[in-house]
Amino acid sequence: MTIELGPYLAAVPDLVAGRIAGAREALIISHENPDADTLGAALAIARIVEFHGGRATTVCSDPVPPLYAFLAGLEAERTDPEPSTAYDLLVIVDCGSLDRVGAVGQRHAALFERLPRVVIDHHLSNPGSTGTSADWIDPASAATCEMVTLLATRLGVPLTAADGALAAALMAGIVMDTATFAHPNATPRTLLVAAALVEAGAPLSEISRRLYRTKPDAQLRLFGRVLERLEGADGGLVVWSSLLEGDLLATGTTPADSEGIIDLLSQAQAAEVAIIFKEARGETRISVRTRPGGVDATVLTGRFGGGGHARAAGATVGLPLEPAREAVLAEARRLAVAVVR
């Protein structure tokens, strides 16, 4: 049986498809602090460009976390564009805001401004842009990789391309952003897209194991330190903990190893809002999870310049940990109490 994605291909904007297929030298940018969705989407778009006779450079401000090393092609990831390449297209993937690409966007602002642009993203908080940009923003998609799977199919790229590496990269993003289809963002289209990727050779079980059921001992020790600080308010409607810079030193971990802690906190039985506060060189990064039908996480994080999805969002607060925590918790408690009244 062949999985048929044809009924969904009209969702791909003509301008997006045309610019990707026509690119001869594409510069593909992931967001800072990369995850499987932004990396998988970037790798997949690179393969789409190459299938149509172009070349592609994938770039991310931050190093790729070891967790994602199994994705073929990441060894070519750069932290800056190739200085000698005459790029003709900028593709930004999985970014709710152009600021989210990090320092590379500041270092190469003139290049970013000059190039024709394609933005492919599934974050509700993405406002879109104007001018030379072709935006495809679909908050109904569970992952940017779900959208890129449709793009590849629309442009005639076999999902079996690169000996299954294309399907694996796309599946990784979908698995990451749905927690292996456990989150409410997984729709019938998401499942059908995933089925097509499995049919093309994506090792779903292995990808899920690597992303959600395999952790180094040092990372588990880090989780233990953070969970020990678990606090709550308003009868458990809001729960939170903090990750200190000293925790990373004590456990020999990196900020990337904190991935997944917030999902543990969000399992608190009564919690409408779960928050992790992370010290980050004088600032504080927050990750937020909320319960379906309750507080919109983008409303909370939006108060502090962040964004994301209704159930999962984040922000960087320009304050040290203590004052940042005080400000965010006041707003979180207000929103959580309002939901249960």
At 129, phi and psi to the nearest 5?
A: -145, -175
- Report angle CA 298, 301, 307 to the nearest 5 degrees: 55
Work out whether strand 55-59 and strand 25-29 pair parallel, antiparallel, or are unpaired. Answer: parallel
**pLDDT at 256 (0 to 100):** 84
- Distance between CA 150 and CA 152 in Å, rounded? 5
**pLDDT at 98 (0 to 100):** 72
- 175 by Cβ neighbours in 10 Å (0-12 / 13-18 / 19+) ranks as buried
Q: Considering the entire predicted model, what is its pTM?
A: 0.87
- What tens-digit pLDDT sequence spans the chain (341 residues)? 689 999 999 999 999 999 999 999 999 999 998 999 999 999 999 999 999 999 999 999 999 988 999 999 999 999 999 999 999 999 999 986 677 899 999 999 999 999 999 999 998 776 665 445 689 999 999 999 999 999 999 999 999 999 999 999 999 999 999 999 998 899 999 999 999 999 999 999 999 999 998 999 999 999 999 999 999 999 999 999 999 999 999 999 988 889 889 999 999 999 999 999 999 989 999 999 999 889 999 999 999 998 888 888 999 999 999 999 999 999 999 999 998 76
Q: What would the 3-class secondary structure string for 39-60 be?
A: HHHHHHHHHHHHHCCCEEEEEC
Cβ atoms of 26 and 89 closer than 8 Å: yes
Cβ atoms of 12 and 136 closer than 8 Å: yes
Question: Helices 36-51 and 14-22 sit at what angle, rounded to 10 degrees?
Answer: 70
How far is it between the farthest Cα atoms of the chain?
A: 60
**pLDDT at 113 (0 to 100):** 92
**pLDDT at 96 (0 to 100):** 63
**pLDDT at 130 (0 to 100):** 47
The SS3 assignment for 210 reads helix
In 60-197 the beta strands, taken as DSSP E runs, fall at 89-93, 117-121, 133-137
Work out whether strand 312-317 and strand 307-308 pair parallel, antiparallel, or are unpaired. Answer: antiparallel
Token pair belonging to 279 = 């010290």
**pLDDT at 133 (0 to 100):** 61
- Distance set, CA 281 to CA 10, 34, 242, 320, 324 (Å): 45, 19, 14, 8, 13
User: Domains of the chain by range and CATH?
Assistant: 6-212 (3.90.1640.10), 217-340 (3.10.310.30)
At 143, phi and psi to the nearest 5?
A: -155, 155
Tally Cβ neighbours within 10 Å of residue 224.
11
